[in-house]
Structure 1
Amino acid sequence: MERSSYLFMHEEFLELKQRPYPPPASPWILTQKWNHLLFMHWKASKDQLNSRLPPALELDTFNGEAYIAIIPFLVDGMRARNLPEIPLLGSYIELNVRTYVRYKGVPGIYFFSLDANHPPSVAGASIFFSLPYRNAAMEIRVDGSFINFRSSRNHPGKEAFDFYAAYKPVSDIYIPETGSLEHWLFERYCFFTERGKSIYRGDIHHDMWRVQTADCQIKQNTLDFSLLDEPLLHYSTPKQVFFWPLEKAGDVSER
């Protein structure tokens, strides 16, 4: 399918100027909507982040600073291309931990972990996207103006991770300016992951991030990273996201 033909199918493809590179010309294979999403960004030790990255990936920085993010949200409306949503399989809660990298000059995301409360989605994402998904007990609940989010991962022989926070937006909606730290953090359109001896790239697309500054009360956070300074907090309006299949980007020895 020509790229121009799907511009008329989904309005998200009418916004492309924010991307550092065009979306793939091939058709996307999966779509879902992200709701109640909170970006929590901390400055983090470059040495600590580098020690947990595949050697082929280069840590990306903004004005010399590296960042790590914890991002809770609710997924719904998940479906494969040209197919309806499957009842009971299209919605789940997710919590991911990520940093920012480059591979052969291309900016993207690297996930340290992704927790979800939906075993079929955990299994599918692990198999098809080679991402470090983990099953967790999770809850998201709107209580007045706050969104209460709780996640607990505790599997024998694996790193535990408990996170509990209440958050809400506290500003008008705005689009981050090009060149700002927020734009650099948010407008990322691929992730990189290892599979065997190769580095793979997964492309995504959505429209520009429309965010609000947020208030967050962190009640529990056992993430095993050194988090520096107070977090930058941003709440997002609902976001429709499109995914492409993994493509081999290079070998683990290349950079």
Structure 2
Amino acid sequence: MNEELQITGHRPFPLPDKPWVMEQIWDDVLFEHWPVPEEIMEKHIPSQLTLDTYNGKAWIGIVPFWISRMRVRGLPPLPMMKSMNELNVRTYVEYGGRKGVYFFSLDADNFLAVTGARILYFLPYMNADMQVYKAEGIINYESRRKNENNEIGQFKAQYKPASRPFNSQEGSLDEWLTERYCLWVTKGDNVFRGDIHHTKWQLHKASCSIHENTMASFLPGKYLLGEPILHYSPQKHAYFWPLTRE
């Protein structure tokens, strides 16, 4: 099995010297973003990280998708780990001049993957019951977190592409919201970076009907009442590196 990675496309920082450890293929990715005042969002990120903003605004992102392929380097896809549905809630931060993603939650319907990511990546993965299917070009997505509070962690929507594909322009909000190549996590006083590589997103504008959404209940509800900025991408092949402590 050839594990060499062909690096293509623009990256703001070079890849780590270490080999990648995980590959995934993400399908039917929807980016939903709402602007949030900087002073509100800052209350919810670790003090070690600096909030990243675009024209003075922070953004909350809710990103549903499903994973059609997932495997550890050197191994074939394992039957219990090869696919899953995932829904993440995120904002954008930087540390040491390197911009990346900060996750508030990541819901998934694969217990083994949730457990592994919580242990190895310190990420706030949550177990959820999820159903995703496509009919007549529309993706029907429903997720209900497995917890005792039915007012938190519920999401139901239908979405589809609504334009021809395009690549974001350098410096645009489209690029700023989607082109992120690392994640940041904290554990105690320590800060860790997880590098990610993929080619630049091929995006579509999207249409979406949101029927239920309590994924960002830590924010005042008024910030998610407006129309979100929507992007859709049919598929993306991504590679992950182990965490590095800064």
TM range (shorter): over 0.9
Instruction: Give me the whole-angstrom Cα distance separating, in 2, the residues matched to 1:156 and 1:170.
Output: 37
Q: Which amino acid in 2 is paired with 1:244?
A: W
Q: What residue ranges of structure 2 are gaps of 5+ in the alignment?
A: none
Instruction: Give me the whole-angstrom Cα distance separating, in 2, the residues matched to 1:146 and 1:172.
Output: 16
Alignment match, 2:230: 233
In the TM superposition, structure 1's runs of 4+ consecutive aligned residues that sit over 2 Å from their partners are 156-160, 225-229
Q: Which amino acid in 2 is paired with 1:133?
A: Y
The range that moved more, 46-55 or 109-118, is: 46-55
Q: Which amino acid in 2 is paired with 1:77?
A: R
The range that moved more, 137-146 or 113-122, is: 137-146
Instruction: Give me the whole-angstrom Cα distance separating, in 1, the residues matched to 2:119 and 2:112.
Output: 11
Verify the 8 A CA contact 2:166 2:202 in the aligned structure 1.
Answer: yes
TM-score after normalising by structure 2 = 0.93
Match of 1:145 among 124, 131, 137: 137
Q: Percent identity?
A: 43
Alignment match, 2:196: 204
Residue 113 (structure 1) aligned with residue 105 (structure 2):
yes
1:1-255 counterparts in 2 under 5 A? 9-11=4-6, 13-15=7-9, 17=10, 19-156=11-148, 160-222=152-214, 223-224=216-217, 225-226=219-220, 227=223, 229-249=226-246
User: CA offsets per residue over residues 164-219 of structure 1, 9 Å max, x none?
Assistant: 00000011111001110111111111111112320111000000000100000000
Instruction: Give me the whole-angstrom Cα distance separating, in 1, the residues matched to 2:20 and 2:42.
Output: 31
- Backbone CA RMSD of aligned residues: 1.7
Q: What residue ranges of structure 1 are gaps of 5+ in the alignment?
A: 250-255
Instruction: Give me the whole-angstrom Cα distance separating, in 2, the residues matched to 1:200 and 1:243.
Output: 14
Q: Which amino acid in 2 is paired with 1:210?
A: Q
